[in-house]
Amino acid sequence: MKTVFAFIAVAISLIFVGSIQAQSPGSSSDTRPRSVTLPHSEAAERSVSEATVGSGNPTRNTVAAQASSPEIASQIVRQFSPALVRSRIGEAERLFKSRPRPTSLTSSATDVVTLALLDRSTARIHLLSLSKQTFLTKNTELTMTTSLGSPVTLRVLRANGVNTAVTVLDNKGQALTPLVVEFPIEKGGAFREMAYYTSAHPALLSPELTKSGQTYVRSMIDLAAKRLRDKGAFVAPNIVDVAERLCLVEHVDHDRFRNENRKALFDEIYSLYALNELDTYRYSVSFAGAGGMVQMIPWAYNLERQRHPGVGLMPDFVAGMRNHANALQAMLLYMQDTWNDLAASEDVRSALDTKVATQTELLAAGYNSNAAKLPLYLRRGGNSWRTLIPRETQMYLQIYRAVDNLVPAKPRTTPLATPKAE
């Protein structure tokens, strides 16, 4: 199971009755509980050169030679593209891993997190270490000195495990860009692994980064669907469409959804995918044990392994959830199996025929809550069936609708026809 250090995630607890199986057999829960839990001159020249390449500027060498001017420093900031961000993140991780390491980490060492901060005017990377407790305390503000001797003021904007967001200003009020946090993961007081993660710090966000994250999610889920198809497991394209949305919906914190700009919140989540790619939500675990990008729990994952042995899902749950390609295949299989079982219900078919419900919202509600109860809700509630589902799932559907309205996505195909009784 993944570490308890987790950031916001929605936990899965689907209970299937009869032909519909449960993610957590024997559980009385209807919904998934959420857990909120370089040399100076050379580096500067390379930074400007890379930035101008990304912008298609033919005067690359001329600009590089003037890297020290304030005007050029301003251009570096404006041209901080997703590719350049990832390049700097890789550079910071290499810097972390090149440092001497103790053969074993003491309890005091596991309480220290270190930030890699980029001074974008000079392209120098500063390291800043502080206690984990301080790092995980929202609104903390303190003055510190970086590894390169620069006095800075750090403020914690959101405290959320490895995904904690901060701002760092130097003594001139200029922002340093947080690139990576080195975060010791421990369980029961024992060191488990060192996490390297990039949060969606305000200094990193851009429309280009959001688009890059959207592209990542879509390409990964398309790859998962193709791999399943190649192995003889077909998932309907419109179910793939819903799954793509759920990769965002699963990681929307309900309180932030109620109180913050929703489009900005969605963009932030996509930015996380762009910044961390294959490691995105690697350390995300809910109180119910749902893990990773798709927030599946062990029982549901093992169910899909049993149902589809030919697909070759990874045997180990934790490794399987950390592997995006594998986790997405499990998610798609689960959603297709869920829909096959729901479509066998006369109540579901009637609700679709009369437009009391849509396939999209039934799939989303079934992924978040007890899918076996959906036919009963439809039969008892009719047009008011949504008031019968758990409040957690009502909010889940509200988030899904907001994503549909605010984040345009090209459908892979037209919706499936209403299932007909045999």
In tens, the pLDDT along 274-314 reads: 999 999 999 887 766 778 999 998 988 999 999 999 999 99
Per-residue pLDDT for 316 more than 50?
yes
Tokens of 234: 């077909």
Q: Which of 22-31, 55-64, 96-105 bottoms out in mean pLDDT, i.e. has the lowest?
A: 55-64
- Predicted local confidence at residue 189, as pLDDT: 75
Question: How far is 332 from 232, CA to CA, in rounded Å?
Answer: 13
Between 180 and 285, the higher pLDDT residue:
180
Which of these, 237, 241, 263, 243, lies nearest to 252 by C-alpha position? 263
Query: Given this model, what pLDDT does residue 110 score?
Result: 84
Residues whose CB is less than 8 angstroms from the CB of residue 52 and which lie 6 or more positions away in sequence, other chains included: 59, 60, 63, 64, 75, 79
pLDDT tens per residue, range 41-79: 333 333 333 333 333 333 333 323 333 333 333 333 444
In 3D space, the residue among 98, 102, 143, 103 whose CA is nearest the CA of residue 125 turns out to be: 98
Q: Is the pLDDT of residue 5 over 80?
A: no
pLDDT digits (tens, 9 = 90+) for 150-171: 999 999 999 999 999 999 999 9
Task: Provide mean pLDDT across the span 238-243.
Answer: 97
- Entry pTM: 0.79
